[in-house]
Amino acid sequence: MTEADDITEIRRAVQALCGEFPGEYWREKDRDRAYPGEFVDALTRAGFLAALIPEEFGGSGLKLDAAAVIMEEIQAAGCNGASAHAQMYIMNTLLRYGSAEQKAQYLPGIASGKLRLQAFGVSEPTSGTDTLSLRTVAVRDGDHYIVNGQKIWTSRAEHSDLMLLLARTTPRDQVKSKTEGLSIFLVDMREAKGKGLTIKPIRTMMNHSTTEVFFDDMRIPASSLIGEEGKGFRYILSGMNAERILIAAECIGDAKWFIRKATDYARERSVFARPIGQNQGVQFPIARCYAQMRAAELMVHRAAQVYDAGGNPGEEANMAKLLASEASWAAADMCVQTFGGFGFAEEYDVERKFREARLYTVAPISTNLILSYLAEHVLGLPRSY
């Protein structure tokens, strides 16, 4: 099956941009745990992060399948799209559920990159995966809401102007269904920093610019509310399919990077006076990872197509994320094994990509929770939690 010309064109354009950011650039950022601002700026200038914003708001109005190709190519080039991917998809909630005024106010700036909306505050230290038990509250006070609570793992908060925040607006014991009573806010962090909003970086095993965020009587205008009060959980659920598909595409890109690296190395590295790749014990794991990646890739495209056709891709998006994150992690492990000792040396970038690839069976949703979703919602088994 041949790819459409416009998709091939996108691949080439992303490859050309990523060529300007070689391994050395990423190694330095990784060593310093520094934000790759130059790379994110270049992606923004090229319009890639505005791929999903409709043309009327200054974006390129691409389909999700095309946007997925952008993320895949970034990873396949050895770059780290985690620094920027959220600018592409967080705005989805604003686009789908924001008022006409909110869209006109924010989307053009997000499309041009003048406004960065790449912080998503959902996870909390005490509730974990059980989002409905979150404790951050927003209480209406005249023309404002007053927010108190804490988020954890709010990635890129220090490099974002706006944050999409999920908070409880009606106590859990006062709602009919536990999925009600949560609301979504678009918080202008430029206004709130130092006035009830505190951000603390968390140092992690890879360079991810993630943070803890504290709200202490943070006052935000009532106009920050997106959609209807109390419906926030439903709004973010619908955006999660797009997020899962894009992250799955990143995993496919990572798997391709590891497979290419391993193949090249196995061809060139000579031990016992022959290339290591001549041994079946070395070539079979690479071939197996290739097959695993290709199967996952089909599911990613299938999920994106269902999404683009306006269907509900819950099943496909979850399976794409599960299969692609497992394929990239298997390829990462295989690549280290193929490189032997050199897999641990910084200069080959394998150890860096290995650390970066580890995240995706845990976040943005862990493998167990995807399996629970499939067991319950697709196979009809009893809910396990």
Ligand X SMILES: Cc1cc2nc3c(=O)[nH]c(=O)nc-3n(C[C@H](O)[C@H](O)[C@H](O)COP(=O)(O)OP(=O)(O)OC[C@H]3O[C@@H](n4cnc5c(N)ncnc54)[C@H](O)[C@@H]3O)c2cc1C
Q: Look at strands 117-121 and 162-168 and give their pairing.
A: parallel
* 126 is an interface residue for ligand X by CB under 6 A: no
* Secondary structure of residue 75 in the 3-state scheme: helix
CB closer to ligand X, 65 vs 243 = 243
Question: Degrees (nearest 5) of the Cα angle 147, 149, 154?
Answer: 100
Residue choice 154, 183, 263, 292 for contact with ligand X (CB under 6 A): 154
> Which of 316, 179, 156 shows the shortest CA–CA distance to 244?
316
Cβ proximity of 136 and 275 under 8 Å:
no
Burial class (CB in 10 A: 0-12, 13-18, 19+), 305: middle
Residue choice 148, 223, 337, 366 for contact with ligand X (CB under 6 A): 366
* 155 is an interface residue for ligand X by CB under 6 A: yes
DSSP, residue by residue, 6-49: HHHHHHHHHHHHHTTS-HHHHHHHHHHT---HHHHHHHHHTTGG
* 129 is an interface residue for ligand X by CB under 6 A: yes
* 381 is an interface residue for ligand X by CB under 6 A: no
Choices 33-41, 122-130, 173-181, 300-308; region in contact with ligand X by CB under 6 A = 122-130
Question: Degrees (nearest 5) of the Cα angle 82, 85, 86?
Answer: 110
Identity at 297, one-letter amino acid code: E
The residue sitting closest to ligand X, measured at its beta carbon, is 128
Choices 13-21, 120-128, 291-299, 339-347; region in contact with ligand X by CB under 6 A = 120-128
CB closer to ligand X, 44 vs 154 = 154
> Which of 70, 72, 14, 60 shows the shortest CA–CA distance to 297?
72
* 58 is an interface residue for ligand X by CB under 6 A: no
* 131 is an interface residue for ligand X by CB under 6 A: no
Cβ proximity of 300 and 68 under 8 Å:
yes
Work out how close the CB of 334 gets to ligand X at its nearest, in angstroms, rounded to a whole number: 23
For ligand X, the binding residues in 202-241 under the rule CB under 6 A are 204, 208, 210
Residue choice 39, 167, 359, 360 for contact with ligand X (CB under 6 A): 359
CB closer to ligand X, 104 vs 371 = 371
Work out how close the CB of 20 gets to ligand X at its nearest, in angstroms, rounded to a whole number: 26
CB closer to ligand X, 257 vs 373 = 373
d(CA 256, CA 268): 18
* 187 is an interface residue for ligand X by CB under 6 A: no
* 364 is an interface residue for ligand X by CB under 6 A: yes
Could you tell me how many residues make up the chain?
385
* 362 is an interface residue for ligand X by CB under 6 A: yes
* 162 is an interface residue for ligand X by CB under 6 A: no
> Which of 84, 102, 85 shows the shortest CA–CA distance to 38?
84
* 369 is an interface residue for ligand X by CB under 6 A: yes
* Contacting residues toward ligand X, per CB under 6 A: 120-123, 128-129, 153-155, 204, 208, 210, 359, 362-366, 368-369, 372, 384-385
